[in-house]
Structure 1
Amino acid sequence: MRTLPAATASLIAVIALGACSADQPAITPPTAAPSAAAPAGVDAFLAAHGLEGKSVTEIVDALDATNDDREAGPFGSVRSGELILADDTSEISLPIEDAFYLSIAPYVGQTHECYNHSLSGCQGELVDADLDVTIVGDDGTQIYAGDATTGPNGFVGFWLPRDIDATVTITADGRSATTRVGTGADDPTCLTTMRLG
């Protein structure tokens, strides 16, 4: 394992705090994409990690679908309004304007605390688990209804409309859990409290 300069190690620790991971289809993906208008440092960072030309949605989905980045990076944190990416030399921030990414790790026996979802940090209990998921807005709008599968990190992620309140129900192997979520500026992007019982 390589050692990092102290400042970089602190940066990565900040990104990793309150973090987790996911995988699943985009419901309402953000339209903001790194483009020719992005600062040169952003373009260089994305190119260095094979992410050039990808939208924020594609970057999150690509990094969340694997555990390969846990050692090598980039290390990512999904916040309500931005995606922060870092490696051992630099950090970039990409806006998430049109949607809210919520990563969920349902569990049966063990879980951990999490607030901002880390694309290279947390590990959920139920790996490659088949789930039945419904997400219904308080106004009755069905946002998602169907099958989903947790990734190698035990998480499943959903792109949701911003600034709503909704009810999430997850069922797996005859066990289920229901909880309320919000997608506002101060709401968590990581949900690890859904105990299937």
Structure 2
Amino acid sequence: MTSLSRRTMIGGGLGLFGSTVLVACSPTIPDTGSVGTAEALDPRARQLLAAHGIEASTAEDAVTAMDQVSQRRPLALTGSVGYDQVAFADDSDHVTVPLTSGQFYLSMAPYRTQKHESHYHNLGGCQGELTDTPIHVTVTTDAGVTLLDEDANTGTNGFTGFWIPRDHTGTVTATETTASTPFNSGPDGPTCLTTLHLV
């Protein structure tokens, strides 16, 4: 595995990438061979984040910390998460940094009546319907491998996020009541999963 936890801390909108960016049988996560140690965060990105009260040593830590900010969105700082990079921006600066651990950030916003439309999760812009809500999340690959099976809570932004291995497809299931939806952690997969309709 990696120094990153499988489970992120609690965490829609338009991505900042433009044209540049493109779930239960086994109890163990498969060895994908691509998961490694996250590299140190670019100093310019670290300075931009620190100006908004976010301290992080890697891009992955920055994503996790920003998704945990306990304020309703939008924030003054945005952070658009893609397959292998994240773009941070405010009114005065913009910086895009790679996600180097080989993991994919999947942030989900279960809903009952109001669906949030997004593809790339915007850490400072996405606001889901169900805030501070306990759920149980299972992520299983099409091959029947369970990537995670955990209790979670949505944050102030209505989202909860997880780091999972890249380049898998399968099913996410959330239960508080129950919802299931496909996921894709490949290059074109959404980091903002907003199709979990709890009924």
What TM bracket, shorter-length normalisation? 0.7 to 0.9
Aligned twin of 1:185: 187
Change (3 A) 1:74 1:34: farther
Whichever structure has more helix as a proportion of its residues is 1
Q: State the alpha-carbon separation in 1 of the partners of residues 75 and 151 from structure 2.
A: 31
Name stretches of at least 5 consecutive residues in structure 1 with no aligned partner: 1-11, 18-26
State which drifts further: 59-68 or 158-167: 59-68
Per-residue CA distance 1:134-185 (angstroms, 9 max, x = gap): 111122221111201000011111111000012111011xx20111111111
Q: Which runs of 4+ in 1 moved over 2 A?
A: 12-17, 27-35, 40-53, 67-74
What is the TM-score with the length of structure 2 in the denominator? 0.75
Name stretches of at least 5 consecutive residues in structure 2 with no aligned partner: 1-12, 19-28
Per-residue CA distance 1:43-102 (angstroms, 9 max, x = gap): 543443454552122111111112449566321111111010012111111111311101
Aligned twin of 2:8: none
Asked if 1:149 corresponds to 2:153, the answer is yes
| Identity across matched positions, percent | 41
Q: Secondary structure at the match of 2:175?
A: strand
Q: State the alpha-carbon separation in 1 of the partners of residues 136 and 39 from structure 2.
A: 31
**Residue 195 of structure 1, aligned match among 173, 193, 197:** 197
The structure that has the greater radius of gyration is: 1
Aligned twin of 1:20: none
Q: Secondary structure at the match of 2:197?
A: coil
Per-residue CA distance 1:79-132 (angstroms, 9 max, x = gap): 111010012111111111311101100111111211110111121111111001
What is the TM-score with the length of structure 1 in the denominator? 0.76
Asked if 1:34 corresponds to 2:40, the answer is yes
Q: State the alpha-carbon separation in 1 of the partners of residues 133 and 14 from structure 2.
A: 29
Matched residue count: 172
